[in-house]
């Protein structure tokens, strides 16, 4: 079967590109319009991000989340705690945020310092404010197929991309490389549900998979979230497949001032000659994650309106 609509056929220049920057901008505009409507109804959506410690990468992500929520007209707050914060102190803060009616989304940035158990923290977040979609209640709802939970932002963003670009998912063979709880497993759970943008036959691969290429070559839609720079090469991809690269890896690059550059898990230059539609890195899945976080926060806020 064909993986994508005919407009996605590869051209002589290679696969058509999925523009995550443009799509994320569209979603953020949709969110901003919803924020205006919610404010008129008396609710200003609020996202609070908690950052424990001084991990440089986390600080960048958290800053971007705060900026994006403010740009969308929401209240975006970051609470920065020292790395010495105890688990009990963090849990007390989470409970305080759970009880705060002006806060609709609560997100504790990972990774946490080693003395704090991330699962315990996630379980303390009110599932109705768990806009990351990591609480077991939301994970369960996603698996069951209940639409009133929150799906994790990165896989939800990937699904939205597929829908936006008219990729036919019904009956398609989807292969997900990676089985993490934040990307691989929820990605598979989304694609296997019945309904639009799903109804796929899903295979999950991981580091113990025998003959990875044998699986990836069968994929109409290949979604890669392994964290291994350029591990998917052209010979591992079926001609005409749709390839979604979630990976973000920094590799040395002497030609850059920073001495590094960002690459995905897919060998972009090689694979684009074979695929019909492909996400670049950067500019593909990355921008979608924050856009979907804003979307989840607006949904959380909308739910607080009287029925």
**Locus of tokens 């158990």:** 117
* 54 is known as an active-site residue: no
In order, the DSSP letters of 15-28 are: SEEP-HHHHHHHHH
Residue 214 near residue 237 (C-beta atoms within 8 A): no
* 141 is known as an active-site residue: no
Taking the least distance from each CB to ligand NDP, the nearer of 43 and 112 is 112
Angle between helices 20-40 and 286-302 (to 10 degrees): 20
Q: Residue 159's closest CA among 117, 186, 197? A: 197
Taking the least distance from each CB to ligand NDP, the nearer of 17 and 91 is 17
Taking the least distance from each CB to ligand NDP, the nearer of 20 and 127 is 20
- Closest contact distance (angstroms) between CB of 166 and ligand NDP is 22
In order, the DSSP letters of 210-237 are: SSHHHHHTT-SEEEE----TT-B-GGGS
Which tokens is 106 given?
Answer: 């609560």
* Phi, psi of 120, rounded to the nearest 5 degrees: -65, -40
- Closest contact distance (angstroms) between CB of 229 and ligand NDP is 8
In whole angstroms, give the CA distance from residue 223 to residue 96: 38
Residue 43 near residue 305 (C-beta atoms within 8 A): yes
- From 19, 109, 220, 265, the catalytic residue: 109
Taking the least distance from each CB to ligand NDP, the nearer of 85 and 289 is 289
N residues, the chain: 307
- Closest contact distance (angstroms) between CB of 303 and ligand NDP is 25
Q: How many CB atoms lie within 10 A of CB 10?
A: 18
Q: Which residue is nearest to ligand NDP (CB)?
A: 180
- Closest contact distance (angstroms) between CB of 55 and ligand NDP is 14
Q: How many CB atoms lie within 10 A of CB 146?
A: 12
- From 19, 129, 130, 132, the catalytic residue: 132
- From 65, 129, 141, 238, the catalytic residue: 65
Taking the least distance from each CB to ligand NDP, the nearer of 250 and 256 is 250
- Closest contact distance (angstroms) between CB of 201 and ligand NDP is 19
In whole angstroms, give the CA distance from residue 6 to residue 125: 44
**Cis-peptide into 282, omega within 30 deg:** yes
- Closest contact distance (angstroms) between CB of 282 and ligand NDP is 9
In whole angstroms, give the CA distance from residue 303 to residue 281: 35
Rg (alpha carbons) of the chain, rounded to whole number:
20
Taking the least distance from each CB to ligand NDP, the nearer of 97 and 236 is 236
Footprint of ligand NDP (CB under 6 A): 154, 177-180, 182-184, 205-209, 212, 225-228, 231, 246-249, 285-286, 289
In whole angstroms, give the CA distance from residue 216 to residue 137: 31
Taking the least distance from each CB to ligand NDP, the nearer of 45 and 178 is 178
- Closest contact distance (angstroms) between CB of 249 and ligand NDP is 5
Q: Which residues are catalytic?
A: 65, 109, 132
């Amino acid at each position: 079967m064909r993986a994508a609509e005919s407009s996605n056929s590869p051209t002589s220049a290679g696969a058509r590109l999925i523009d995550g920057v443009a799509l994320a901008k569209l979603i953020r505009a949709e969110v901003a319009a919803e924020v205006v409507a919610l404010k008129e109804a008396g609710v200003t959506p609020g996202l609070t991000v908690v950052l424990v410690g001084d991990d440089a990468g986390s600080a960048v992500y958290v800053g971007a989340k705060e900026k994006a929520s403010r740009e969308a007209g929401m209240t975006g707050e970051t609470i920065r705690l020292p790395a010495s914060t105890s688990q009990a102190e963090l849990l007390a803060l989470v409970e305080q945020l759970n009880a705060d009616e002006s806060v609709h989304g609560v997100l504790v940035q990972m990774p946490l310092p080693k003395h704090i158990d991330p699962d315990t923290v996630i379980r303390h977040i009110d599932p109705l404010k768990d806009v990351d979609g990591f609480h077991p209640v939301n994970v369960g709802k996603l698996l069951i197929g209940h639409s009133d939970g929150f799906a994790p932002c990165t896989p939800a963003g990937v699904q939205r991309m597929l829908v936006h670009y008219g990729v036919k998912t019904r009956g398609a063979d989807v292969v997900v490389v990676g089985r993490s709880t934040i990307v691989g497993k929820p990605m598979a759970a989304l694609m296997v549900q019945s309904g639009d943008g799903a109804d796929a036959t899903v295979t999950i691969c991981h580091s113990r998979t025998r003959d990875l290429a044998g699986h990836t070559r069968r994929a109409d839609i290949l979604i890669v979230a392994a964290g291994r720079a350029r591990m998917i090469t052209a010979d591992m991809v079926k001609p005409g497949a749709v390839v979604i690269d979630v990976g973000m890896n920094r590799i040395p690059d002497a030609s850059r001032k920073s001495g590094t550059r960002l690459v995905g898990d897919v060998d972009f230059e090689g694979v684009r000659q074979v695929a019909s539609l492909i996400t670049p890195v950067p500019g593909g899945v990355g921008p979608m994650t924050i856009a979907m976080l804003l979307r989840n926060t607006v949904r959380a806020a909308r739910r607080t309106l009287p029925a």
